[in-house]
Structure 1
Amino acid sequence: MQWKTLGATPFLPPLYWRAALKRKITGSTLPEQGLRCRVSIDPKQVAAYRKVCGFTDSPILPGTYPHILAFGVQMQLLTDSNFPFPLLGLIHLNNRIRIHRPLGGVSELSISVHTQNLKPHPKGATFDLVTSVEDSLGLLWEAESRMLCRGVKLEGDAEDHAQPSPTQVNELTRWKAPADIGRRYARVSGDYNPIHLSALTAKLFGFPQAIAHGLWNKARTLAALSEHLPAANIEIDVEFKKPVRLPGEVTLLASAAGSSGELWLKGAGDIEHIVGKWRPIA
């Protein structure tokens, strides 16, 4: 892997244009280059994120917040001319984060982003978008987002690893996903994908109404589970099933508090939105 270090956090508007203009698959191999960047944490932005995602005030950053810090770097990587797949068609299938140490007392972090693990899938091909966050002591947090690009033809057997539905869970809480949550989350995350913003823009991409961001669903779930979960040495792995249509209401089921457990986010008529589990980092 070759690494390119950025002098500043990428400016998003030109990257949106790049994403909007690229609609074709231009290759079937992932680039061998990753991006690195130093980022500063703005307490006002963290506070706005907490409010949108339901996290209470704390000296420790929300476990999903490094995704927000890394978003511009991820966008730059995925809209680069040597990246073979159009960003707007990608579907987020899985997300796993590992919190190695408590995310407290940090003001500046180093972020690295690369892609790996391109594999055939029944609907196209999947790859992992890998993000690592370091502070002055070393590795602090890492994430893998498994992305699907439809229509890619690769040699080999297609596999699709679905997580089984949890068994030992009870209802913990429920919440509403309001009609404007896609726009509110876009303002704190920078992710203005049209499928999340309004019914009108979602219809352009084949959705009958706007859908909630997958990472908002995950963040809102972790906010509801915050009393349940250890602050560090934890891996939280979720699979995104059916999208949450806006406006909507969801129910969170989870195991009893502990170092490992399962979670299940369901909607009306028992529709599965998220299946997940947490456990100590192996």
Structure 2
Amino acid sequence: MDWHTLGNTPFLPPLYWRAALKRKVNGTTLPEQGLRCWMSVDPRHLAAYRKVCGFDNSPILPATYPHILAFALQMQLLTARDFPFPLLGLIHLSNRIRILRPLGSVGYLQVSVKTQNLQPHAKGATFDLITTMEDSLGPLWEAESRMLCRGVKLPGEVADDALLPPIDLTELTRWKAPADIGRRYARVSGDYNPIHLSALSAKLFGFPQAIAHGLWNKARTLAALEQHLPTANIEINVAFKKPVRLPAEVTLLSSAPGANGELQLMGASDIEHMSGRWRPLA
């Protein structure tokens, strides 16, 4: 993997325009270059993110916050000319976070993004978007988001890597996902995908209502589980199932606090929105 180090965080508006213009698949090879950038945490932005996602004030960064730091780098990588798939229309299937050391007292950080592991899928092709964060002492945090591009045909066997359904869960809490949560999360995340912003913009992409961001669902879940989970040496893996159509009320089911656990986010009529588990790092 070759790395290109940027001097500044990419400016998002031109990247939105580039994403809007690209609508077709133009290849089946992932780029061999990743992007890196040194950046700092803005306390005011972090406070706004905590508020939108339900995290308490803490000296420890929320487990999902590095995704926010990385978003502009991810946008630049996924809208580059050598990236083969259109960004609009990609489907986020799953997300795995590994916290290697406590995310406390973090200052100057290097965030890196790359793509890898292009694989055939029953509905197209998947790839992994890999994001890592490190400080002067070394790696802190890493994540793998599995993305689906529909309609791409690749040779090879289709893998079945779905998570098994959780068992022995009890209701922990529930919350409302208001109609404007997509717009509120967009303001703190930078992710202005039209399917999340309003019913009108979502209908342009085949959704009858706006849907909540998958990473907001995960962040809001981890905020509710803060007292359940250790602050480091943990892997948290979730699979996104049926989207949360806004507005909605959802219920979080969880196993008991412990080193290993499982979770499930459910909606009305027993619709499963997200399932997952946490484990100590091997």
Deviations 1:1-43 (A, max 9, x none): 1110111000000000000000000000101010000111100
1:269 equivalent in alignment to 2:257: no
- Give the CA deviation at 1:160: 3.2
* Unmatched runs of 5 consecutive residues or more in structure 2: none
Deviations 1:153-180 (A, max 9, x none): 1001122321121112110000000000
Cross-structure match for 2:112: 112
CA contact (8 A) 1:110 1:133 kept: yes
- Give the CA deviation at 1:279: 0.5
Cross-structure match for 2:123: 123
**C-alpha separation in 1, matches of 2:161 and 2:105:** 37
**C-alpha separation in 2, matches of 1:204 and 1:268:** 25
Mapping 1:51-200, distance limit 5 Å: 51-200=51-200
Cross-structure match for 1:208: 208
1:280 equivalent in alignment to 2:244: no
Deviations 1:39-97 (A, max 9, x none): 11100000000000000000111000000000000000000000000000100000000
**C-alpha separation in 2, matches of 1:278 and 1:36:** 28
Query: Could you state the TM-score of these two structures normalised by the residue count of structure 2?
Result: 0.99
Percent identical residues: 77
**C-alpha separation in 2, matches of 1:68 and 1:260:** 26
CA contact (8 A) 1:122 1:160 kept: no
**C-alpha separation in 2, matches of 1:192 and 1:201:** 11
Give the aligned residue type for 1:42.
D
CA contact (8 A) 1:129 1:147 kept: yes
**C-alpha separation in 2, matches of 1:158 and 1:149:** 14
1:242 equivalent in alignment to 2:230: no
Cross-structure match for 1:220: 220
SS where residue 116 of structure 1 aligns?
strand
State the superposition RMSD in angstroms. Answer: 0.5
**C-alpha separation in 1, matches of 2:89 and 2:14:** 18
**C-alpha separation in 2, matches of 1:99 and 1:168:** 26
SS where residue 211 of structure 2 aligns?
coil
**C-alpha separation in 2, matches of 1:160 and 1:124:** 14
Deviations 1:180-202 (A, max 9, x none): 00000000000000000000000
Give the aligned residue type for 1:43.
P
Deviations 1:209-260 (A, max 9, x none): 0000000000000000000000100000000000000000000000100111
**How many equivalent pairs are there?**
282
Cross-structure match for 1:32: 32
Q: Which segment is superposed worse, 98-107 or 209-218? A: 98-107
